[in-house]
Chains A and B, each alone.
Chain A
Amino acid sequence: MPQSPSLSAAARRSLSVVSVVSLAILASGLYFAPERAWSNLLAAALFLLTIGLGGTLFLALALITGAGWHVAFRRVPEAMAMIVPLTGGALLVVLALGAQYYAWHPHGDVGTFWFKQFWLTPMFWFARSAAYVIIWSVLGALLVYRSRKQDTAPVNVQQHTGNVRLAAIFLAVYAITFSLASVDWLMALDPMWYSTIWGIYNFAGMMVATLAVIVILCIVLSAPGRPLHGVFTTEHLHDLGKLLLSFSCFWMYIWFSQYMLIWYANIPEETSHFVTRTIGPWGPVVVASLVLNWLAPFFILLPRPSKRSRSVMLRVAVLILVGRWVDVWLMIFPSTLGDTPAFGIWELAAIACVVTAAPLLLARSFASAPPVPVHDPFLPESLHYHA
């Protein structure tokens, strides 16, 4: 297997410079425009963390469904899973820096319900957040570690059963902790509003973005001369395209489920979320989010040839990542900044930071293992796969 670095030294250097500079700009923003800079930091950290966590989720789902098709490119979601500790740590730093932007902090307005007051106690809130990140990091690292152990020793059935069991544990833990995390980190920005579908809505957005990142990385890494060339085939791309299409529809479905029930019932304490977002200057941003995350990908990805075309899939994946950014933005900014959207140096710095930090982190973790899990029992199946 040819092992060539996926990023050249020059590219690595310029990416590092841009990401450090943009991070420094954002850090200085905490002094000049604290609310906006902090909101951008939260969006950036959340965006990166959910991509990493999505990689772990993809691995666990594949293991528990007994999937063999993905093994040829499994090192890609594994590389994503490995960025969870770092991005999760970054998110915890952001939370620690900005606890005062959560409306309930320090003696805010959370209503009179005793459980809510207890649940949103700042120390408990932060300890919980740290616990989520630690749990995800440990379980993800275990999944990756066990997969890499297969590279050196022949695999036995017990080992594979153990992997499946670990994946099952991760999925159960993930379902609960991620729901709670999305409530703690995003819904708590506006503590008087609540939606019981919030957790799954965040899961849907995370899954679409994860698949888009897997598609981009696989296409880039399978270019001629790159480690996955000839290993990641059009058949794999086709299946990723199907998943991307279906999860894009799933995101739209969940978005609509949340919107329609709130619109129908028309209870003021529930509608506040959508009143801020759909009426006034945020309205066009919501429309852009729907077009980027569902409408455009849906019609582009529907025909079979576009799911088998590298250039089309690459563009749709980028489109969806832009949509995911707008989606994250819409969850955070109207709550922290109010009715008027703003776009300027802080927003640009956050985007620059994510766009440069993601390839750096992912390339580093991808290069730390052989690019193909050579001893995996499902590898032959994956290499001869027909979609």
Chain B
Amino acid sequence: MSSRVLIATFDHEDDLLAATTAVRERGLRIMDVYTPYAVHGLDRAMGLKPSRLTWVCFVCGMAGALGMLWFEHWTAAIDWPIDVGGKPWFALPSDAPVAFEAAVLLAGFGTVFALFGVARMWPGKQPRKIYPRTTDDRFVLVIGETNAAFDVQSVEQMLTKYDVLKVEEQLVT
């Protein structure tokens, strides 16, 4: 499915932030924003919801810690009990470091792969280059033309208030 979008290019991060806020407050659909570096406060300007990745991280970490504790218990105390220096079969102090490492490992990998999955990134995927100079010094705001009533002129007029460099329509797939 292809759709028409409006691509607005800016020179300064402050203009972009203000324009993004204005566009969102007007009820237009922000497809995405492209910047050369992470712009602080952009998530709030775009009206993004708080990330759910933190929950993925927490659940993976807990699963790693508890799973490894169970595994250590099973290997050292149930399946093949080993006497280490007269310590109890299942001794929390000696199991904690490995459980900790497993928690960190699973939390780290789980979060990264969940991010890749949600962002639909995989090896060999071609990046969508809306405007190449966003990798250098330009900021781009992409607005979706949601229906036939979308008034390009009035949006363009609104964006000139924020020193927009240029506005162009594009067909994206």
Residues of A within 8 A of B (CB): 256, 259-260, 263-264, 266, 302-304, 386
Selected from B41, B50, B93, B96, the residue in CB contact (under 8 A) with A386 is B41
| Given contact pairs A260-B93, A266-B85, a sample of 15 additional A-B residue pairs in the complex whose CB atoms are under 8 Å apart | A256-B93, A256-B96, A259-B93, A260-B94, A260-B96, A260-B97, A263-B93, A264-B93, A264-B94, A302-B58, A303-B54, A304-B50, A304-B54, A386-B40, A386-B41
Tell me the minimal C-beta distance from A114 to chain B in angstroms: 33
| Number of A-B residue pairs having CB atoms within 8 Å of each other in the complex | 18
Give bound CA distance, A32 to B54, whole Å.
55
Residues of A within 8 A of B41 (CB): 386
Tell me the minimal C-beta distance from A279 to chain B in angstroms: 14
Residues of A within 8 A of B96 (CB): 256, 260
Majority secondary structure of chain A interface residues (helix, strand, loop or mixed): helix
18 contacts between A and B (CB under 8 A): A256-B93, A256-B96, A259-B93, A260-B93, A260-B94, A260-B96, A260-B97, A263-B93, A264-B85, A264-B93, A264-B94, A266-B85, A302-B58, A303-B54, A304-B50, A304-B54, A386-B40, A386-B41
Which single residue of chain A is at the shortest CB-CB distance from B85? Answer: A266
Give bound CA distance, A256 to B100, whole Å.
12
Which single residue of chain A is at the shortest CB-CB distance from B41? Answer: A386
Give bound CA distance, A260 to B50, whole Å.
39
Tell me the minimal C-beta distance from A380 to chain B in angstroms: 14
Residues of B within 8 A of A (CB): 40-41, 50, 54, 58, 85, 93-94, 96-97
Tell me the minimal C-beta distance from A277 to chain B in angstroms: 15
Residues of A within 8 A of B40 (CB): 386
Which single residue of chain A is at the shortest CB-CB distance from B94? Answer: A264
Tell me the minimal C-beta distance from A260 to chain B in angstroms: 5
Closest CB pairs A-B (n = 9): A386-B40, A260-B93, A263-B93, A386-B41, A256-B96, A259-B93, A304-B50, A266-B85, A264-B94
Residues of B within 8 A of A303 (CB): 54
Residues of A within 8 A of B58 (CB): 302
Which single residue of chain B is at the shortest CB-CB distance from A259? Answer: B93
Tell me the minimal C-beta distance from A233 to chain B in angstroms: 13
Give bound CA distance, A304 to B52, whole Å.
11
Give bound CA distance, A210 to B97, whole Å.
28
Which single residue of chain B is at the shortest CB-CB distance from A302? Answer: B58
Give bound CA distance, A304 to B93, whole Å.
30
Residues of A within 8 A of B97 (CB): 260
Which single residue of chain B is at the shortest CB-CB distance from A386? Answer: B40
